Amino acid sequence: MKKFLIKLVIESDSKIGKRFDIFVQTLIVLSIISFSIETLPELDSSVLEILDLFELITVILFTIELILRLFLTSPPLKYLFSFYGLIDLLAILPFYLSTGFDLRTVRVFRLFRLFRIFKLFKYGKAIDRLVEAFSEIKKELIIFLIGTIFFIYLSSIGIYYFESQAQPELFKSVFHSMWWAVTTLTTVGYGDMYPVTIGGKLFTTLIVFIGMGMVAVPTGLFASAVSKTFKK
C-alpha cells in the first residue's frame, strides 16, 4: 500500500503519479477560478452555496494530499517546513482559521487561498530548472540587491537636494523622496513626483539611464543561468 502511495504522490515520473499531478493542477486552477468568481457582485445564493461546497471539497483533498506527503516523507517535519510544505499548509490553513471568526476576518483569511497558485510550482521540470538557475546566481543577485538599495538611498538624497525647496509638499524628506527613486530607477515613472528644477531634471536623466542598466543586469544574469541549466 505504501509503495502505491509513493508512486501516486511522490514519484511524478510514474504513470499514476503523472495523472495525480494533472488532477492536482486542475484542482488548483479551478480553485483560483472559484476564488475569482466569489468576488463578483450580487451573486445568487445558490451559486455561493456551490462555490462553498467546492471550496470544502478542495480543502479536504488538499488536506489529504498534505497528510500523505507527511506520512511518506521521513522525517515528516522535513517536508512540512520545506518551501513546498509551507505552501501546502498555507493553501488549506485559511479555511480552518476562518471558522468562528467574523466575516471581515474571513475575507482576510480567504486572500491567503491565493497561495495555492504556488502549488503549481511543484509540478514541472521547467520550474525546477528555474529554481536551479536562481540558486546558481543567488550570491550575485544578493550583492546586486544590496547595491541597488544603496543606490536608491543615494538617489533619494540627490533628488531631495535639488527639489525640496521647489516642491516641499512632495519632496518633504529623503524618505519621501525614496518613492521617486524607486519608480525612476525601475523606469516606471508614475508621474506623481517629477522634477521641475534644471538640476533635478539633469539628475533624473542620469538616474533613468542608470536605471535601464540596473534592470538589464539581473535579467542578463538570470537568462544566462537559465540557458546553462537547459543545456545540462
The pLDDT of residue 184 is: 86
Alpha helical stretches, state H, 73-137: 76-80, 83-97, 103-111, 125-136
Q: How far is Cα 196 from Cα 177, in angstroms, rounded to an integer? A: 14
Torsion angle defined by CA atoms of residues 147, 153, 154 and 159, in that order, rounded to the nearest 10 degrees:
140
Residues of the chain under the 70 pLDDT cut: 98-128, 230-232
The CATH fold of domain 136-231:
Helix Hairpins (1.10.287)
3-class secondary-structure state, position 230: helix
* 36: nearest Cα among 153, 116, 150: 116
CATH superfamily, domain at 2-123: Voltage-gated potassium channels. Chain C (1.20.120.350)
Residue 176 is given by DSSP the state H
Other beta carbons within 10 Å of 215: 12
The pLDDT of residue 221 is: 82
| Chain segment 120-142, per-residue pLDDT in tens | 666 556 666 777 777 788 888 88
Q: What DSSP assignment string belongs to 25-61? A: HHHHHHHHHHHHHHTSTT--HHHHHHHHHHHHHHHHH
Which is it for the CA torsion 220, 139, 206, 190, positive or negative? Answer: positive
The pLDDT of residue 167 is: 93
Quote the pTM value: 0.57
The pLDDT of residue 106 is: 45
Same fold, 2-123 and 136-231: no
Alpha helical stretches, state H, 164-197: 174-185
The pLDDT of residue 103 is: 42
Residue extents of the structural domains in the chain: 2-123, 136-231
The pLDDT of residue 158 is: 94
The pLDDT of residue 104 is: 43
